[in-house]
Amino acid sequence: MQVETLKLSTLVMTITPELYSLLTKEELEADVMIQGDIDKLKREDVNRIIASAIEQNVSTPYH
């Protein structure tokens, strides 16, 4: 299977454009890797990818 790297913003605008305004610039600029065809991703797949990008961009003030 083919692995593709793209910006989260591209993925969101393709699959779930209604969520675009909810994400920060840093989250939207995050690079994500997907395996296979972007058109075959389901909404729940994109939701998991978004959640992971948000987790990666959260900075804990105590660390």
Query: pLDDT digits over 3-51, tens only?
Result: 999 999 999 999 999 999 999 999 999 999 999 888 889 999 999 999 9
Tell me if 13 is assigned to some domain: yes
Instruction: Report pLDDT for 29.
Output: 94
Task: Indicate whether 62 belongs to any domain.
Answer: no
Single pTM value for the model: 0.82
Report the candidate in 59, 51, 42, 56 with the shortest Cα–Cα distance to residue 22.
51
Does 63 fall in a domain? no
**Does residue 12 lie in a domain region?**
yes
Domain assignment of residue 29, given as a range = 3-57
pLDDT of residue 44: 94
pLDDT score recorded for residue 46: 92
Kind and range of the H or E run holding 37: none
Q: Domain for residue 20, yes or no?
A: yes
CA–CA dist 23, 48 (Å, integer): 14
Please indicate, yes or no, if residue 39 is contained in any of the structural domains.
yes
Number of domains in the chain: 1
